[in-house]
Structure 1
């Protein structure tokens, strides 16, 4: 006679059963808009495995369950916006706290721990072979982002005290930003081409886009606030720099499984140090040259 699961264990197993079905549907939906055929087949293979896992749990619960459609829509949308590698690794990382639940389940289902370990290992191996195009150009995006953060934040900080007028600062920053975007894009194109990359123009495009978006976000406070509120604009700009660094560092840390803390501290330290030095230079230039605008 088959042993009946206790109420608590059955609830835990039902939760895993629902999660497996939900994730299977997420993988299947994302696979519909993935262009790379190899990645598409990898995602469909993971989806099939998830459905098999759900069937294993169903053999214990004896119940048919439905996936969480809200979660399916959430992860599918994130995959469209930020890329499927980021979304799927983030989704899988969110399950790391399930170890305690598996320990509970293994008291009544001895093979539960092995099922858990097999699932984690298999899914991790499959996720590692994803080869999303946008991640190939992370280096180009980092180049555009970091250069914009260092160069433009430093320029704006220096101009803030030297000019003390939001409109003049914004104008100077825009001219510098547009020129620097074109310069960075062309430099990246020539560099990628000399390194023998297949798509040097795409590398340049990723660099340019990262640069111009970063510049736009940093200049916005100077454009939107009154001319006299230049110190407020500087504070908002520096906060924007920190948020951009945090957001991008988090994205790269999840997608490429790197240290968020190390990357964030390094980028933030460089950008804010350059801004501080440039601000001091702005004060000195205004003081010693006696320029008053």
Structure 2
């Protein structure tokens, strides 16, 4: 039965979504190595194509896939991991069940809505990829670098008042701290019985996350002579890193972005503020001026 005029726009929207998703899942199936993951993705791709055919019977129209979405999710999976790309795609999709419920005269569409829910449940337990397995190590490196290093640089800013000197001191401190954190993660992972993580990989992930954060936070003091302006830009960089990482983590893990972002931002900026005041106090008490 062909849909009436009121329903046709909704059905066309989902028709495009179904054919686009079918192509995305099929392309993602070709980049995964795990055979079970590949099988599940191909099955979902076939189901999405079947949904498209059902909707086409109601609209009487062929609909072209959204090439931008195909490109977007394929490369997100390549760069940021399969889990992130799939979870983001599911998150951004319009609620099919809610829309189809408006049209009880098309009972077969209820099955389409139920299938979408089944897809989500399948996808939740689908992926076992290294990026997420070592997420705890990345969290450790980032959290420690952001909290400790924003505080250290804020303290150096008032104590030293010299941008090149702050950058040099911060770089030495940061690299030493990164090596220390990587070593600690190696020993910690090695001592945990039954942990599937490889100690060396866990240490590398922790160290790299820490060093990338150090480079980003030190950079303003290398390129900007005014230490207060550099400090302000450093705090903006820290906030940006917190936002980007927590968005990735929230999507991949299905957690609240707002809660994690606020918690980490408040902690980092509180430590930075206290360290800034300590630097000012020590400079005043000692009378040392490195400017």
TM-score band w.r.t. shorter chain: over 0.9
Q: Which runs of 5+ in 2 are unaligned?
A: none
Give the stretch that moved more between structures: 168-177 or 256-265. 256-265
CA distance in 1 between counterparts of 2:9 and 2:104 reads 14
The aligned counterpart of 2:121 is: 125
CA distance in 1 between counterparts of 2:34 and 2:150 reads 38
SS of aligned partner of 1:64: coil
CA distance in 2 between counterparts of 1:94 and 1:290 reads 57
The aligned counterpart of 1:52 is: 50
Q: 1:80 aligns with which of 65, 78, 81?
A: 78
CA distance in 1 between counterparts of 2:2 and 2:192 reads 64
The aligned counterpart of 1:233 is: 230
The aligned counterpart of 2:261 is: 264
Contact 1:157 1:234 in 2 (8 A): yes
The answer to whether 1:182 aligns with 2:182 is no
Q: Deviations over 1:196-220 (max 9, x none)?
A: 3341111111111111111111111
**Length-normalised TM-score, structure 1:** 0.93
Give the stretch that moved more between structures: 145-154 or 128-137. 128-137
CA distance in 2 between counterparts of 1:89 and 1:246 reads 18
The answer to whether 1:203 aligns with 2:223 is no
Shift of 1:271: 0.8
Q: Which runs of 5+ in 1 are unaligned?
A: none
Contact 1:27 1:47 in 2 (8 A): yes
The aligned counterpart of 1:217 is: 216
Shift of 1:100: 5.1
CA distance in 1 between counterparts of 2:267 and 2:87 reads 29
The answer to whether 1:160 aligns with 2:153 is no
Shift of 1:260: 1.3
Contact 2:181 2:207 in 1 (8 A): yes
Contact 1:141 1:207 in 2 (8 A): yes
Shift of 1:126: 1.2
Following superposition, which runs of at least 4 residues in structure 1 exceed 6 angstroms of deviation?
none
CA distance in 1 between counterparts of 2:24 and 2:178 reads 37
SS of aligned partner of 2:64: coil
Contact 1:140 1:204 in 2 (8 A): yes
The aligned counterpart of 1:115 is: 112
CA gap of 1:208–1:36, structure 2 versus 1, over 3 A, is farther
CA distance in 1 between counterparts of 2:2 and 2:204 reads 60
CA distance in 1 between counterparts of 2:222 and 2:75 reads 32
Shift of 1:98: 4.6
The answer to whether 1:35 aligns with 2:14 is no
Q: Count how many residue pairs are aligned between Structure 1 and Structure 2.
A: 287
CA distance in 1 between counterparts of 2:171 and 2:36 reads 42
Contact 1:46 1:126 in 2 (8 A): no
Shift of 1:83: 1.0
CA distance in 1 between counterparts of 2:208 and 2:36 reads 27
